[in-house]
Every structure is written in C-alpha cells, then in structure tokens.
Amino acid sequence: MNIATRVWRGLRWYLREFSGESRWDAYLVACQRDGVTPASRREFERHRADQVEHAPMARCC
Amino acid sequence: MTTIQTGSANRTRSIAIWSVVALIGATCWSVLALSRGEDVSALWILFAALSSYAIAYRFYSKFIAKKVLELDDTRATPAERLENGVDYEVTDRRVLFGHHFAAIAGAGPLVGPVLAAQMGYLPGTIWIIVGVILAGAVQDMVVLFFSMRRDGKSLGQMVRDEIGVIGGTAALIAVFAIMIIILAVLSLVVVNALAESAWGVFSIGLTIPIALFMGFYLRYIRPGRVLETTAIGVVALLLAIIGGGYVEQLGLEEALTLSKEHLVIALVLYGFIASILPVWMLLTPRDYLSTFMKVGVIVLLAVGLVVAAPVLQADAVTSFATEGNGPVFAGKIFPFVFITIACGALSGFHALIASGTTPKMISKESHVRMIGYGGMLMESFVAISALIAAVVIDQGLYYSMNAPAGLTGGTAEGAAQFVGTLGFTISPDQLNAAAAAIEEQTLVSRTGGAPTLAFGLSQVFHEAFGGNLQAFWYHFAIMFEALFILTAVDAGTRVGRFMLQDTIGNVWKRYGDVSWRPAAWSASAITVGAWGYFLYNGVSDPLGGINQLFPLFGIANQLLAAIALTLCVTLLIKHGKLKYAWVPGIPLAWDLIVTMTASWQKIFSDNPALGYFAQADKFRDARDAGEVLAPAADADQMGTVIQNSMTNGILQSLFAILVIIVVANAVVIWVRAIRAGSLPTTEVPHTPSAIVEPADFFATAEEKRAMASWAEERRQQGDGRGREPVRSHR
C-alpha cells in the first residue's frame, strides 16, 4: 500500500469514527455475531438521535 | 544488534532529538525576550510555543502520569466496566481526543488573547504557554483522571462527595451562575460582530436554514450519512459567505443592517427556540458544521501563519500593562492579563467537560495523558494563533476597533483622534480604507475581539494565499466564530435548562422530567432570560459591554478553575499523596491570588474605571448633582450605567464568596486528611482490564506486538470480536 492510500484510508476511518457513521457497520457486525436481525438504518439512527436528546452535550467557551 | 544495543541507540537518538527541540525553544524565547524596537517575526512566537508544548508533554505530563496520578493500565476504565453503548463506551483514543478537543475548544481562546493584546505581545505569549503547561493542561488532565476513577462523576458531584455538602452546594450555584455569564458574554461577542454588518447577518442567518436542511436530510432522506450531509452543509455555508458579498445587489442591505438591540432580541428568541426544538433538527447538524469548520480554520491558520510569516506590529509590553489605563479593558497586567486570556491558558469550564462525557469513553487509563493534557495543549495553540493575528495588524487600527464607542465617538475621525492621544497614528482615510477592504461600513469600535481576530486572519490569509479575497476571508472568519459561539449558546442553554430542571426536580419531582413540556419550556425561558438580561445590559451600557462584562466572564471562568483545582488538591491529599499536592497546588495558589486580587479590585477599588461600585457611586453622585457624565448622553443612560455597575459588582462578589466557601470547606478536609495520613474517597476499586491498547498517539513497536498477540489470543478463544473492541448497540 503506498502512502497516499494509507493516508486516505486513515483519514476516512477517522472521519467515520469521529462522526459516528461507523456505528452502523459495528451494529451490523454485532447483529451478525449474535444472530439477531438488524433494525433498519432509519430506526437505528432514530434510536441514536433519541439518546442524544436526553444527554446534552456541553460545548465550551 | 542485541536488545541492549538497540535500547541504548534509541536512547541516544531520543536525547539528541529532545536536545534539538530544547535548543529551538530556548532560541525562540531568547529572541522574543531580547528583541526590542526591531522587526520581530511572528514565527518566533509560534515555534517558542510548539517546542515548549513538546517538551512539557514529553516530560511534565509523563511525570504527572507516572508519579502523581500513577495511571494504571491494569485497571479497567468505566467505559470497559460499564459499557452500555449509550454514555459508557470504549472509544479509540484518537477519536476521543477529537471529541474532547471539539468540546473544549470554542470562542474563548480566540477572543481572550485578542483583547489581552492591549498589554503587548509578550505578556500574553508567556501566560498562554506557561499557563497551559503548569495550570490549564494539569487541571484538565487531573480532573479527567479523578472523574474517570469515579465512573465519570461531574465536578459538582465530586466536590459534594469529597469536600462536603456546603462546598458542593456552593459549587453548584457557582457553575450555573458562571455559565449564564459565559453565555451572555459569548452572545455579546456575536452581537458586536454582526451589528451594522449586512453581510455578516446574511451569512450567519443562512446557517439556520442550512442546519435545518441538514437535520431533515439526515433524519428522513439519508439517515446516518453524517459526512455526506456535512459536506453539503459546508459547501452551502461557503456559498452563504460568498452570497453575503452581494447583499447590496440583492437589495437586502437595509433590511439586514440590524442594530445591536434588534440582534439581542433575535438571539434571545433563537436561543429559546433552539433549546426546546429536538436536537436532531438544529443542534446536532449545527454542531457538525461548527466542528468541521473549527478544525479546518485552525489548520488553515497554522499553514497561513507559516507561509505569511507576518511581522509583529505591537510593542512587546505596552504602557497600558503597567499603568492599567488601557481602553480595551481597565486594569494592570497583574491580574488582568491572566483574567482576560482565560480559556487559552486555564479554563475552569474544561473541568465540566473533563468530568462529563470524556471520562466515560476512555478505553485505557494511560489515555488520560494524551486526551487531558494533550487536548489542552492544542487549545493553547489556538490561543497563540489568535494572539498572533491580533498583534500583526496595525496597532492604530487595533485600538480604533477595540476602544468603546464612548471613546471614539464611533466615527473614523473620532477614532483617529482618540488613538492619536494614545500615541498611535492612523488617519480617518486609512480607517475607511481598511473597512472598505473587507467590505464593512466601519471598523471603528467593533469591540468584542471577533472583528479584530477576523481582520487579522483575513490579513494573514490574504498575504499567505494571495488573490483578492480579503473581504471573503474576513467574513469567513466572522462566520466561523459566530457559528461556534451559537453552537455554544444552543448547547449551553440546553445544559442550563437540564441543570435547572434537575435542581428543581429535587423538590418537585415532576419538574425534573426533561420531556415534560411545561418544565422544559419554563426552564429554557429562565435560562435564556438570565443570559439575555446580561446581554441586553451589555449592549445598552454606554461604557461598552465588553469593557464591562469581559472581566466578569474571565474572573468567573478562573474561579471555576479554582474550584476544580481545589478538588484536585483535596483528592491527592486524601489519597495520601501530599508530597505531590504541589502539582495542582501551585496553579491553585496562583489562580486564587489572581482571581481574588481581580475580584478585590473590581469590588473595592476606588478607581471608577476599575471598581464596579466606585463607578456606580461616581455616576450616582453626578446624577444627583444633575450632571451627565460622558460617555452617557442623558439621565437615562446615567441610570443604565449605575444599574449595570451595581449588578455586576454584586455578581462579582457572589462568585468570589462562593469560591471562598468551597476552598474553606476543602481546607478543613486537607487538615483532617493530613493528620490521618489519608482519608477514604469514592474511588471505584481496582477491576482488572482486558483491553490492550497503545498509550499515546502513535503505537510503539512493543505496543504493536502486544496488540497483535492480544488479537491472536482472542481469535483463538473464538471471541471473534477482532482487534477493536466493537461498540455494540443495545
């Protein structure tokens, strides 16, 4: 793998982790491991948004 | 080569590298210390900062990690023990570093250093660098550690558990009151940046529909595609900035040129609505935008500074530093440079983040060092960059922009004349030309720090990247500051609302239910009303809101840091580590000296420019004698000055008293703990950790081997969960 590819992959991995996009993938993997049928993406993301609703994130000055 | 030889070669190389870093740092500091009256490049400041941070991180934070806190990777963190996929969650250290930094970094470290540039470039530079190394980063790291050892308990809860109910209650009230002031001052910065600027109002106004669009897009059209949505949002944002340049052609100029009073009303309404709307609609998408913009601008600024290598225009130390008669804010270098810089060197507010979400997501104890200490070093770097942006612009312009309208009369002629009395020369034509270059109507008395910073940034970017884009860069910078101040206002109002509901919920249970509308709406209204009140005071004050309120904001933030550091000292002593209590103890002592001196001066000084009550007396006496004192224009404005000064003075006294209560309560515990050798604390007992991860940003060869063998071990056990601990969704 040349450096450009590695940097690109690293960046992509970081951004997906940072933004929480990779949660969905992790969820699918977990469902497969546990033999559970996954919820739809829409339901999954709604559930996550509802959690954020009750946990106010602090933003500093 | 044998292991021993490799080890000694590595050691030699490490000594060589750190000697070079030390040498660069020493050279930069010497140049800064010795240069007087000659052209000094801003890069000396930048590299003095970077090499000092590197050395402090490598040596001091390691000392704190190993000796003072004794970080222990055999202990499971709360994230590992309590993982629930909601708030407790094992998170990659580099990702958590990003989250933590995004949470602590805001407008404070950008605005404070700009105002502190009144003292010259040297005092600010020294405090931002020395302060972060010995105080700010230490506070963040130690609070993060203690909260992590207590399952992520909040600062207020820890003060209550470890110091006492009296101290805990005082801390809780202080946190709420301080937050109100912080929100008011941040909003004031936005109001000052947008007042009389149609371009600014246009582009900031458009962020609301852009964020709403992103919210709906993410919820209904493309659920979960955050990066795609953010990319669309950023493009729309840039178009909004560019579009702002055409407000005149669009015939919107008059409609969007708003007075400060109208902006206050708009902001208060916005704050209220934003805090009761579901977060997915406005707050979350806006947060994505502001986080990505924040990181982008910081990177751009660092590159821009290196490319442009601007020359410092300010004096190393100005006469205002020693005489205390500066127009931007009153008071001498001690204690006010420390109060004004606030967040970039030591920020009490970070203790709330370090005892909030971050400790619940740490995967290994050793990560406390890179996230707590490292995150704050990065914040300090932002502050240094902001300071540089303020001291590389023409100083006549700096003072024209930052002196209150009461002094400059708000006109180019008045400003030129006023800065002339300070010993700077700038002609009205030059002032008008500077305003025209960024397509603003005027730059006179655009206080609050944001316009100055934006002007400095636009100049640096203009020099670094060329093109005829200075006006774009200026509004780009205003947009970026306003964006994350508004995010802080949204999120802060919501946090305030939750705190209020939680507190009242102790007495009236139903009120604590965050989804009960009457409670949510009324708690939001109280919070917004409180900061809105101070904001309105700020814009209507003839003496200048920033001049009056910023010291209150700075002192409040530093007093919160005093509470956090007191907790750190208390816990070290209770754990029987009296010999290391100096690590948070020295910054605590310094912070108390600074804040108490500043509080004393703001309360008891008989100089009306400095003491709130002296100021109220002066205007009251004048009013009783039927006089009108400048800058007030009539008896009504005299009344405003008196009322504001009294309110600020009372609030200032309240903050100081609350902190004294916490410290006094803590001293009792210190004495008890020292007599007993140590005292029991609420630390969670040792539970063995199964996770293997590198300790720092980059994995060493040894750590890579350890991780590989751990992955292998798990694979053989048929765990199948792979290398990374998977975050399952439950």
Higher-pLDDT residue of B78 and B722 is B78
Instruction: Among B2-6, B135-139, B259-263, name the one with the lowest average pLDDT.
Output: B2-6
Subunit contact B224:A49, Cβ cutoff 8 A: no
How far is the CA of B27 from the CAs of B21, B22, B24, in angstroms?
10, 9, 5
Whether the per-residue pLDDT at B572 is higher than 60: the answer is yes
Q: B626 Cβ partners below 8 Å, 6+ apart?
A: none
- Angstrom CA distances, B292 to B231, B311, B331, stand at 9, 29, 37
Structure tokens given for B475: 């509004």
Q: Which of A44-53, B355-364, B580-589 has the highest mean pLDDT?
A: B580-589
CA pseudo-torsion sign B95, B100, B101, B103: positive
Written as six digits, the tokens of B277 are 């709307």
Two tokens at B343? 């967040």
Are B288 and A19 in contact (CB < 8 Å)? Answer: yes
Distance from CA of B244 to the nearest CA of A (A): 27
Tell me the pLDDT tens digit for each residue of B114-155.
Answer: 999 999 999 999 999 999 999 999 999 999 999 999 999 999
Nearest Cα residue in chain A from B220: A42
Question: Are B95 and A17 within 8 A, CB to CB?
Answer: yes
**Alpha carbon of B155: minimum distance to chain A alpha carbons (Å):** 13
pLDDT band at B728 (very low <50, low <70, confident <90, very high): very low
pLDDT category of residue B4 using cuts at 50, 70 and 90:
low
Q: How far apart are CA B727 and CA B21, in angstroms?
A: 40
Residue A42: closest C-alpha in chain B: B223
How distant is the Cα of B491 from the closest Cα of chain A, in angstroms?
6
Per-residue pLDDT at A45 exceeds 80: yes
Is the pLDDT assigned to residue B727 strictly greater than 50? no
pLDDT band (50, 70, 90) for residue B265:
very high
Best of B226, B378, B517, B697 to mutate (most A CBs within 10 Å, chain A):
B226
Q: Which of B95, B287, B491 sits opposite A18 (nearest CB)?
A: B95
pLDDT tens per residue, range B33-44: 998 878 999 999
Count of alpha carbons within 13 angstroms of residue B281, beta-carbon side: 7
Backbone angles phi, psi at B437, to 5 degrees: -60, -30
With 70 as the cut, is the pLDDT of residue B719 above it? no
The whole-chain average pLDDT of chain A stands at 90
> Among A15, A30, A49, whose Cβ lies nearest the Cβ of B726?
A30
Interface of A with B in 14-43 (CB under 8 A): 14-21, 23-24, 26-27, 29-30, 33, 41-42
Do the chains contact at B87 and A33, CB–CB below 8 Å? no
Q: What percent of chain B has pLDDT over 90?
A: 84
Instruction: Please state the rounded mean pLDDT for residues B216-239.
Output: 96
pLDDT(B106) > 90: no
pLDDT at position A53 over 60 = yes
ipTM of the complex, rounded to two decimals: 0.95
Per-residue pLDDT, averaged over B237-241, amounts to: 95
How far apart, in whole angstroms, are the C-alpha atoms of residue B473 and residue B450?
Answer: 13
Residues of A in contact with B223 (CB under 8 A): 41-42, 44-46
Query: Across residues B197-206, what is the average pLDDT?
Result: 94
Residue B191 pLDDT grade (very low, low, confident, very high; cuts 50, 70, 90)? very high
B724 pLDDT higher than 60:
no
Q: Which residues of A touch B227 (CB under 8 A)?
A: 15-16, 19, 21
Mean pLDDT score across all residues of chain B = 93
Q: Is the pLDDT of residue B654 over 60?
A: yes
Interface A-B: count of C-beta contacts within 8 A: 115
Using a CB–CB cutoff of 8 Å, tell me whether A52 touches chain B.
yes
Q: What is the rounded average pLDDT of the residues A14-43?
A: 93
The DSSP secondary structure of B273-290, one letter per residue, reads: HHHHS-TTTTHHHHHHHH
Please report, for residues B236, B343, B352, B369, B647, the alpha-carbon distance to residue B145 in angstroms, rounded to integers and kept in the order given: 40, 20, 13, 9, 37
Q: Which of A29, A54, A58 sits opposite B356 (nearest CB)?
A: A58
pLDDT in tens, B42-90: 999 999 999 999 999 999 999 999 999 999 999 999 999 999 878 899 9
Q: What is the DSSP string of B232-256?
A: HHHHHHHHHHHHHTTTTTTT-HHHH
Query: Do the beta carbons of residue B562 and residue B348 sit within 8 Å?
Result: yes
Tokens of B514: 């965050």
Q: What is the pLDDT of residue B587?
A: 98
Asked if B98 and A14 come within 8 Å (Cβ–Cβ), the reply is yes
To the nearest 10°, the Cα dihedral for B651, B656, B661, B666? Answer: 140
Among A21, A48, A61, select the one facing B182 at the smallest CB separation: A61
* Two tokens, residue B505: 């919920």
Question: Is A26–B727 a contact, with Cβ atoms under 8 angstroms apart?
Answer: yes
Best CA proximity match to B386, nearest among B335, B469, B466, B450: B450
Average pLDDT over residues B388-399: 96
- Once rounded to an integer, what is the mean pLDDT over residues B286-314? 92
pLDDT at A54: 78
Instruction: Give the CA distances from residue B256 to residues B194, B394, B552, in Å, rounded to whole numbers and listed in that order.
Output: 10, 29, 31
